[in-house]
Structures are given as C-alpha cells and as structure tokens.
Amino acid sequence: MNSIVHEPLAARALDSLNATDLNGRIQAALARIDRTLSQFAEYFPSPSSESGIYSPIDNVEWTNGFWTGMLWLAWQLTGEDRYRSVAEGNIQSFATRVERRINVDHHDLGFLYTLSACAGYQLTGDSLARSAGLEAARLLLKRFDPVAQVIQAWGDMKDPKQRGRMIIDCNLNVPLLYWASRETGNKDFAAAADRHLAQAAKLLVRPDASTFHTFYVDTKTGKSRHGSTHQGHSDDSSWARGQAWGIYGFALAWRHTSDPAYLEIASKLANYFLNRLPTDGICCWDLIFTDDDVTPRDSSAAAIAACGLIELSQALPLSAEMRETYEAWAVAIVKTLGDSYLAPIEGSNALLLHAVYHMPNKAGVDEACIWGDYFYLEALMRLRHPWRPYWA
Ligand code: GLY
C-alpha cells in the first residue's frame, strides 16, 4: 500500500471547522443557490460557466441531475419548500426525458437519475420518481456488454469506436443499478454492476494507484486492449477528476458489495491523489501537475475527492490508522474551497469557481462546473449532519 507523505494542511484542519463554521458555509452556499432559483426553475444550469455565469439549458445534458441534487440537499438542510417544489418540477422533466429517450444513450444515466429521481423517491416516496429511476436503470443495464463485462460509456452499442470502452467516471453511475436491484428484486442489475466494478478495479487502476480515464476491452474475445485518456493530459497521466471519481466510486463500491478489496483500492487512490496536491490542497486538473500556479486547478475534482474521503473514512474500521487522516484531508479541502474558491455573490451564478471541464477541448477551463457545486454542497452536508447518501 502506498502511503501519504504530505499532510501538514490536513493536520491543521480537523479542529478548525466546527458546527458554527460549517453552518456559515452552508448558509453561504444556500445564498448562492437562492439567487438562481427563479432562473433555474424551468431550465437547468449549463455544464460549465462562461466568465462565472451558467446559462439556462433544457434537460438534455449529462449534468442536469446535479442541479436537482443540489435542490434536494438544500431542502434537506433547511426544510424550506421552495427547494422541494423546484426539485419536484424537475422530476416531471426527468420522467419525460427518459420516456422520450432524449439524450440518454450514454452511461451518465446514473448521475442524472440517482440525484434527481432516486433522491426524490428516497425523500418523498414519489411514484413517478421511482418509475423514472427504474426506466433509467433499465437503459443503463442495456449498456452492459456481457463479453467485455463492462458498461459501455458512450455512443451507440454498435459503434466500433466505442464498443467495450469503459471509463472511471462510471463508478458513480453503477449505484443506480444497485438501487434498481433492491427496488425490483431483479439481481441482473446488481450482477452487471458487480462485474463492471471488478473490471474497473482490474483495468483502470494502475500498479502505482494512478488511474486510466478510459480503457478498451475487446467485445469479441473479452481480452483487455489498452487504456487511453479523454479529458486528461495524456494516456499515461492521471486526470484529477478521474482519480476523484475513483476514490469516491470505489468507496461506494464497498458500501454496495461489502468487498474489502474496494476499500483498499479507494485508499490507494486517495493516497496517490493526496500526495500530488499543491500547497493549498486543491488539485491541478491533471495529477501530472503538482506545483502551484503552473496550470489551472480543478475545484470540482477537489469537491468530489472530499466526498470520497468522507465516505472512505466512515467506511474504515474505527481502529484504522488512516480514518482520521482522510477525514482531516476532506475538512482541509472543503475549508479551502469555501475560503478561496467560492464564487462572489454578485457577478456569478455559481458556487465554486476555478474548475476545468475539458482541457483538451478547451471547454470550461478555469470556470465553474455544476457537479463541483453539487459535491461541495454534499461535502458540507456530510460534514455537518449524519446523512444517507443518494448514492447508497
Ligand atoms: N463525467 C464527465 C466529467 O467528469 O467531466
């Protein structure tokens, strides 16, 4: 097991984020949601901002569920119906989207429906939310290739360029399958999720605990082919957000499977990530960069990693040496995000600035990304309250 060599920031953080401080940070986040609630009542924020401003879009992107998830979090944090009523309006939109098959031919059905429909059903018992979530899970199951044993990330299942291609982000999509298995009693959902995660552990995680963003498996023979990047610096670097999806996703894999191997993988990935942070604790967009000020940060990857570190620290046994260290790092990251990466209340409609959506495509570079906002609020919720994750 690799170890953490760089922890002074975390060591200072644990005592410094008490309930009053967390409440203040939650209020600051809610104030930023409130200023956009009417703008995004019928429309959704775009995946990334331009000059700190999200534009309104229809329910067509892979990212729309993050806004609805933020509304459910805001409702749970406050009990105020203005959040619930917008979130409930979103459920109708997600039900229509899956029924009419609007941009649903990809694996991000998990992000979309876990945070909207499944969260809504968990919190309110709404039957429309349940049926929309189950329909999304059925579509996701159809993306499982029985020879390659992976969920194909993108594109038509017959597209030769995309067949057998898995990506690390999918670790956060498979919870939808576990949920559907529990809801319906149909074990096929969980079996596909189990097999995909086993392949992710085997193929996406390198021996040094860095990760490939994507990996191809031959759909005729089942043999592994090669790793490649899509949003990272290079095929053999570790895209920071991919590593963060891995930390959180493998910690959640333990929650769903009880297989302790996944906790060990999540820990190794976490150590690799934590050892490559610049001095303020917020990762650069690819972990090939470890220095300050040479390349943009990805605050959204930091927020995802913070949630993953909290999930991991809570999953580890009380006696585990690293439990407190991971929690301390999560606190340190959340604190820095709130102190130095929070969008101003005027002139932006986002929560967190300084994220990177897609550097190779020059899309959303040093901008806000809506999933970063969601995971920042989730991290605040997790640090402040005992909370059942929507991913559970
Ligand atoms: N799942 C796509 C991304 O993280 O940009």
**Tens digit of pLDDT per residue, the chain (392 long)?**
677 655 555 655 655 788 999 999 999 999 999 999 999 999 999 999 999 999 999 999 999 999 999 999 999 999 999 999 999 999 999 999 999 999 999 999 999 999 999 999 999 999 999 999 999 999 999 999 999 999 999 999 999 999 999 999 999 999 999 999 999 999 999 999 999 999 999 999 999 999 999 999 999 999 999 999 999 999 999 999 999 999 999 999 999 999 999 999 999 999 999 999 999 999 999 999 998 768 999 999 999 999 999 999 999 999 898 999 999 999 999 999 999 999 999 999 999 999 999 999 999 999 999 999 999 999 999 999 999 999 99
The reply to whether ligand 1 has any atom less than 6 angstroms from the CB of 241 is yes
Best of 214, 241, 307, 361 to mutate for ligand 1, by most ligand atoms within 8 A of CB?
Answer: 241
Burial code (b: 16+ CB inside 10 Å, e: under 16) for 132-156 equals bbbbbbbbbbebbbeebbbbbbbee
Q: What is the pLDDT of residue 27?
A: 98
Relative orientation angle of helices 299-315 and 323-336, to the nearest 10 degrees: 150
Residue nearest to atom 5 of ligand 1 (CA): 357
**CA 197 – ligand 1 centroid, Å:** 18
Best of 173, 231, 239 to mutate for ligand 1, by most ligand atoms within 8 A of CB?
Answer: 231
Which amino acids are annotated catalytic?
108, 169
**CA 248 – ligand 1 centroid, Å:** 14
Q: What is the pLDDT of residue 9?
A: 58
Return the structure tokens found at 182. 């529990």
> pTM of the entire structure?
0.97
Query: What region, left, alpha or beta, does residue 316 occupy, with left being phi > 0 and alpha being psi -120 to 50 degrees?
Result: beta
In angstroms, the CA 283 to CA 277 distance is 5
CB-CB contact of 366 with 356 (8 Å): yes
**CA 79 – ligand 1 centroid, Å:** 30
The reply to whether ligand 1 has any atom less than 6 angstroms from the CB of 298 is no
User: What Cα–Cα distance (Å) separates residue 111 from each residue in 263, 281, 390?
Assistant: 22, 26, 10
The reply to whether ligand 1 has any atom less than 6 angstroms from the CB of 169 is yes
Catalogue all structural domains in the chain, each as residue range(s) with its CATH number: 1-34+263-392 (1.50.10.10)
Q: What is the pLDDT of residue 5?
A: 56
Fill in the amino acid letter for 76.
Answer: Q
**CA 347 – ligand 1 centroid, Å:** 26
CB-CB contact of 336 with 329 (8 Å): no
Atom of ligand 1 nearest to the CA of 169: 1
Residue nearest to atom 2 of ligand 1 (CA): 169
Q: Containing H/E element for 351?
A: none
Fill in the amino acid letter for 373.
Answer: D
Return the structure tokens found at 335. 């604190």
Atom of ligand 1 nearest to the CA of 369: 5
The reply to whether ligand 1 has any atom less than 6 angstroms from the CB of 107 is no
Atom of ligand 1 nearest to the CA of 231: 5
**CA 221 – ligand 1 centroid, Å:** 29
Atom of ligand 1 nearest to the CA of 47: 5
Parallel, antiparallel or unpaired: strands 355-358 and 165-167: unpaired
Atom of ligand 1 nearest to the CA of 167: 1
**CA 38 – ligand 1 centroid, Å:** 27
In angstroms, the CA 255 to CA 47 distance is 28
**CA 170 – ligand 1 centroid, Å:** 9
Fill in the amino acid letter for 133.
Answer: G
Residue nearest to atom 1 of ligand 1 (CA): 169
Atom of ligand 1 nearest to the CA of 245: 4
Closest CA to 284 of 272, 302, 266: 302
Q: What is the pLDDT of residue 374?
A: 99
Best of 154, 211, 213, 245 to mutate for ligand 1, by most ligand atoms within 8 A of CB?
Answer: 245
CA 151 to chain CA centroid, Å, is: 17
